[in-house]
């Protein structure tokens, strides 16, 4: 059996299991902490600071993705993914022994640094070891992990909070990280040309600093300071200047950390805009639908969560089926079909907004989930299949980064829309009519984002062959086993 047969070898099973476990760690961590916040605040205090538990995690995760993605293309996937798991594990242990809110926030930042390596590299490894036909089914398995985490995370957080043992939400990461680390260390081995690389330290530093300031301004603008305040202008201004400096450095760098061609190639430009729109639309739904149902019609948080969970059920179903479609009708047509479903679902949700219904929200969320699955997976696979091994990490990281930026900006913009409606109604956040109107405005915003998603898929270049790469892309082949 030759190296080119690696995509068909049975030893990939333990690697896929490790990838799913590593993904589960990050997916559960993204939701488990929300239901335990009252217990955390009751134990160590810091109520006014607790939103930073979410903001700092998202911030450090987002800004490190491009750096990890480039390093994965230069020194290999295995070193980066193992480093990410180890850092996430260390951050989890430290979070479990945090003594006050500032220390917990700092350790959450460390967790985010680890998560920034886990998410893009796991998807990159899938692109390395699975054929084009197999990749959608595999992405469906990974998407199912997020579906399970969407329900299991809040439930576990609630259980630990009920036991008055919030530290358990971080300790649960220890066995999961250990399993993923052990399986990858044992079974995943890469074979690629070892050569000297010129690490783009200046570019990485400028990009990280610029993104940190810009995302900080987006995440905290309107909360910690006013949008039109001197602090806001200073943060966005400094971030923009650093970003300009980054572009100038990248033009001359021998091995740029985020090559400018990532946004120069038509296919990659379109697929990155898809990632941006998916992130923005997704955060608009996951952040506001539960409050819409809980306050609007008085259902329990569990019931509201289950209604929204149909979205994360539809996504892996569509992701699993998308492979058959894009091999027959092409990436672009499959993605357009998925984006059309997202538009249909978000428009229906906006029209149903004034009339809250659990069954209505569940049905519409399922349709939107199907749309996300048919749009997100083909565009990501198309982007990965358009490059070789030594560029796949950067391409995957750029797509994941675009989705993170979409979530950050979407949360800020749609949150501002909701706050504006609430303020216009007198500022009563407990009034059902007010929350229904605010949520409906957010759903209209999500429909506009969905329209952007549809435009991005329509503008994707038409591929010459739907199955232009029936095997993993050329380049250094991972040795499995």
| pLDDT, tens digit, 9 for 90 and up, residues 163-209 | 888 899 899 999 999 999 999 998 888 766 666 666 678 888 888 88
Residue 47: predicted pLDDT: 62
Residue 133 or 359, more confident: 359
Residue 131: predicted pLDDT: 80
Instruction: Round to whole Å and give the CA distance between 372 and 318.
Output: 8
Residue 399 or 51, more confident: 399
First to last CA, the chain: 13
pLDDT for 344 beyond 50: yes
Of 173-187, 344-358, 370-384, 406-420, the one with minimum mean pLDDT is: 406-420
**Entry pTM:** 0.79
**How sure is the predictor about 162, in pLDDT bands with cuts at 50, 70 and 90?**
confident
**How sure is the predictor about 464, in pLDDT bands with cuts at 50, 70 and 90?**
low
Q: Is 462 helix (H, G, I), strand (E, B) or coil?
A: coil
Q: Is 188 helix (H, G, I), strand (E, B) or coil?
A: strand
pLDDT for 92 beyond 90: yes
In the chain, domain spans? 3-200+254-480, 201-253
Residue 35: predicted pLDDT: 66
Token pair, residue 27, equals 């997916």
- Contact call for residues 332 and 344 (beta carbons, < 8 A): no
Residue 146 or 396, more confident: 396
Paired strand residues for 188: 480
The mean of the pLDDT values for the chain is 82
Give, in degrees to the nearest 5, the angle at Cα 388 between 250 and 337: 95
Paired strand residues for 190: 478
Q: Does domain 3-200+254-480 have CATH number 3.20.20.70?
A: no
pLDDT for 471 beyond 60: no
Instruction: Round to whole Å and give the CA distance between 12 and 477.
Output: 13
pLDDT for 428 beyond 50: yes
Mean pLDDT value across residues 137-166: 78
344 C-beta neighbours (distance < 10 Å), count: 17
Mean pLDDT value across residues 95-121: 92
């Amino acid at each position: 059996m030759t190296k080119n047969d690696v995509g068909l070898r049975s030893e990939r099973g333990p690697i896929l299991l490790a990838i799913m476990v590593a993904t589960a760690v990050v997916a559960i961590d993204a939701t488990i902490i929300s239901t335990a916040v009252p217990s955390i605040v009751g134990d160590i205090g810091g109520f006014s600071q607790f939103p930073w538990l979410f903001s700092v995690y998202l911030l450090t995760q987002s800004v490190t993705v491009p750096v990890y993605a480039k390093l994965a293309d230069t020194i290999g996937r295995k070193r980066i993914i193992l480093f990410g798991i180890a850092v996430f594990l260390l951050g989890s242990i430290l979070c479990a022994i945090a003594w006050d809110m500032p220390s917990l926030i700092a350790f959450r930042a460390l967790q985010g640094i680890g998560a920034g390596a886990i998410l893009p590299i796991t998807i990159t490894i899938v692109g390395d070891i699975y054929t084009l036909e197999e990749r959608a089914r595999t992405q469906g398995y990974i998407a199912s992990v997020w579906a399970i985490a969407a329900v299991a995370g809040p439930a576990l957080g609630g259980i630990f909070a009920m036991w008055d043992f919030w530290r358990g939400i971080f300790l649960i990461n220890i066995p999961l990280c250990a399993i993923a680390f052990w399986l990858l260390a044992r079974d995943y081995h890469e074979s690629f040309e070892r050569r000297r690389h010129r690490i783009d330290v200046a570019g990485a530093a400028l990009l990280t600093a610029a993104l940190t300031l810009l995302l900080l301004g987006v995440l905290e603008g309107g909360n910690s300071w006013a949008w039109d305040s001197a602090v806001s202008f200073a943060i966005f201004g400094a971030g923009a200047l650093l970003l300009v400096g980054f572009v100038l450095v990248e033009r001359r760098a021998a091995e740029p950390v985020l090559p400018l061609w990532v946004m120069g190639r038509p296919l990659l430009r379109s697929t990155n805009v898809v990632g941006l729109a998916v992130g923005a639309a997704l955060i608009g739904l996951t952040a506001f639908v539960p409050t819409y149902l809980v306050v609007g019609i008085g259902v329990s948080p569990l019931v509201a969560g289950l209604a929204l969970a149909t979205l994360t059920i539809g996504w892996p179903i569509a992701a699993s089926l998308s492979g058959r479609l894009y091999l027959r009708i092409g990436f672009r047509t499959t993605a357009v079909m998925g984006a059309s479903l997202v538009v249909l679902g978000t428009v229906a949700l906006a029209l149903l907004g004034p009339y809250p219904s659990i069954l209505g929200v569940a049905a519409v969320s399922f349709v939107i989930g199907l749309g996300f699955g048919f749009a997100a997976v083909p565009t990501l696979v198309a982007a990965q299949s358009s490059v070789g091994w030594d560029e796949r990490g950067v391409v995957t990281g750029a797509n994941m980064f675009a989705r993170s930026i979409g979530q950050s900006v979407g949360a800020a913009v749609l949150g501002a829309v909701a706050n504006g409606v609430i303020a216009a109604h007198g500022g009563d956040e407990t009034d059902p009519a007010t929350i229904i109107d605010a949520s409906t405005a957010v759903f209209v915003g999500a429909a506009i984002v969905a329209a952007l998603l549809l435009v991005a898929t329509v503008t994707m270049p038409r591929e010459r062959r739907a199955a232009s790469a029936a095997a993993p892309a050329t380049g250094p082949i991972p040795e499995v086993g």
